[in-house]
Amino acid sequence: MRDFLPADRPLLVLAPMQDVTDLPFMRVIERFGGPDVYVTEYFRVYENSRLKDYILRSIDENPTGKPVLAQMIGQDIPALVRSARELEKHAVAGLDLNLGCPAPVVCRKDAGGGLLRNPARVDQILGALRETVQGRFTVKTRVGYDDPGEFADLLEVFQRHRIDGLAIHGRTVRERYQAPVHPDCIRRAVEALPCPVIANGNIVDVETGRALREQTGAAGLMLGRGAIRNPWLFDQLRAAFGGGSIPVPVGRDLLDYIEQLWEETAREQSKAYRGDKQVQKMKRYLAYITQGLDPGFDHEILRAREEDAFFRICRRYLSHQDPLPGLPQETSRRFCGFSELLQPSAPESKAPSLP
């Protein structure tokens, strides 16, 4: 990851989100500036698993010309080793291990964030994969399973292995997305590890991105939900860190983004195209896009069933030239705790100011 780092600003990475940040989304987000580095949806790895063709297309048909890391999730070491070797036959920029997914169905299988309950097992997996992976090997984690106090033990595990980068979602698995992040944990990793550390969680606009960088000293920022809601956010951050003019999109711009998402995701449907099925796919994106806008938009769009109704609602709320609000609402269940990043920090908790 170190060779990806820009000289004058943090590295910007798109966080993987299952069934959301797929190949069609990559095509669209890149038109709006996109990240510096992409990460695939995770490949589920278990004893008899095979690499999923649809996710492989994000690597083999990479439309962005930018690096793409392939992410795996699982706890079966022989299967992870096998999958890593298979993935390195493709044009991956590196392999990433998911230790952060908080989905209950994943954690019950002791995969993703569920592995954080067993640092010894994490140690074994990292050792086996570091020995296997010939190129870059990175990890995405949370700061603990139940409590951020668990991060000290996890950090010792990460220190024992030559990982090439660590992305940290600054919440525990239990906190899911309904709590402020813990920048102090990320800062501790920055100070302790020789590899680049990427800060993730609660970056919803330029100011929250700046604040998380300031409070952690991280080499990069990883954006997920915030970038789905605001596809201009990567370019806005580049401009902010570079002293340039920050883009200010308006309602019609957001409508254009939605229309492009519809077109690209619809192309991936089978020959038997169904508008109602496509509406359900689009709701995965609109659940984030509507946040901070007129509450009626969110209420209506999540109840739409047919294509005509979907676009009628979007056009009614977005056919205007007014600037879009910078922040989602504080009461949103999909964005929570971001205002905590903007509160003044105690002097001892602040990281050195970086460009």
> Is 231 a member of any domain?
yes
Stretches in the chain below the pLDDT threshold 70:
270, 344-355
* 224 and 268 both lie in a single domain: no
Mean residue pLDDT across the chain: 94
> Is 188 a member of any domain?
yes
pLDDT at 326: 93
For 267, the domain range is 251-318
Picking from 239, 227, 240, the residue whose alpha carbon sits closest to that of residue 13 is 227
pLDDT at 144: 97
pLDDT at 345: 55
Final residue in a domain of this structure, among 242, 275, 294: 242
> Is 50 a member of any domain?
yes
Bridge partners, residue 197, by sequence: 166
* 228 and 264 both lie in a single domain: no
> Is 234 a member of any domain?
yes
Report the alpha-carbon distance of residue 56 to residue 48 in Å, rounded: 17
* 224 and 256 both lie in a single domain: no
> Is 147 a member of any domain?
yes
> Is 330 a member of any domain?
no
Query: DSSP label at 290?
Result: T
**DSSP string across 45-109:** --TT----HHHHHHHHT-SSSS-EEEEEE---HHHHHHHHHHHTTS--SEEEEEE----HHHHTT
* 50 and 130 both lie in a single domain: yes
Query: What's this model's pTM, rounded to 2 decimal places?
Result: 0.94
* Continuous H helices in the chain: 23-31, 53-60, 77-87, 104-107, 119-132, 151-159, 183-192, 206-216, 225-229, 233-242, 251-267, 275-289, 295-301, 307-318
* 126 and 151 both lie in a single domain: yes
Final residue in a domain of this structure, among 242, 266, 289: 242
* 58 and 76 both lie in a single domain: yes
What is the CATH classification number for the domain harbouring 94?
Answer: 3.20.20.70
- For residue 34, is it left (φ>0), alpha (ψ between -120 and 50) or beta? left
* 224 and 271 both lie in a single domain: no
> Is 353 a member of any domain?
no
Tell me how far CA of residue 231 lies from CA of 3, 147, 224, 227, in angstroms. 25, 32, 10, 5
pLDDT digits (tens, 9 = 90+) for 75-91: 999 999 999 999 999 99
Q: What token pair was written down for 198? A: 């990427």
* 107 and 160 both lie in a single domain: yes
pLDDT digits (tens, 9 = 90+) for 119-157: 999 999 999 999 999 999 999 999 999 999 999 999 999
pLDDT at 272: 78
Number of structural domains (the chain) is 2
* 272 and 167 both lie in a single domain: no
* 90 and 182 both lie in a single domain: yes
pLDDT at 41: 96
> Is 335 a member of any domain?
no
